Amino acid sequence: MVLGLVTLLFVVNFAISCFNAWSCGRSWNETKSVGGLAHFMNWMCATMSASGFTWCYLIVTVFVGTFIPHTQGEGVDAVTVPLVSEAMAKAAFELGYLVIYFPIVGSGLAMTLQSWAYFYRERSFRSGAVAGWNTFAQIYNIGSGFRNVPSAMSGVKSFFKSDEKGKLIVALLVAMAAIGGIATTAFIIRATARRVAEQAELDYRRARAA
């Protein structure tokens, strides 16, 4: 049951991150040439996408690490344990949460304010629904931070100050997930922007030939 729920959340989060990166890529060339608020908002959407990918990759790397055997000690004292222990997994998730929380809240705030400004101008049901959803998500994320950020900070601090082994592995797991999240977002944005530019060039040539 728990594994199924985690898998579902993973798939949904990954799909949303893909959609956000794809959406950024579709308008990336245009907003980059214009600059200003439009391109800033595209960066905020890209930040949200990278954060989502980072969390997904962290789940995968920690999960895989718990199945990799690691031998501790020598001779008769040697024992085989998972490369990522339960304490290490907990610390990795807490550190990963702290790494993505503030970018998510910051970009989410910008997107919420922008959606309310758009709703003020358009006054449509669609723009109102988007503004309402962004507001709900932002309030939820901020509330989650008040509940979880202090305990996550305390947990990370305790782990890195304790005698627990694997501190470098924990840091590497989070770093790898973050790098993977950023790289995936950049790849999708660039690939989508390139396809949009190629399609625009093709449409222009067809229009001139007509």
Residue that has been written with the tokens 């199945």 in this structure? 67
- The single-letter code of the amino acid at 172 is L
State phi, psi for 70 to the nearest 5 degrees: -140, 130
pLDDT for 82-126, tens place per residue? Answer: 889 889 999 999 999 999 999 999 998 998 998 888 888 877 887
Element housing 79 (H / E): strand 79-82
pLDDT for 169-194, tens place per residue? Answer: 999 999 999 999 999 999 999 999 99
pTM here is 0.88
Token readout for 185 is 């977002």
Count of positions (residues) in the chain: 210
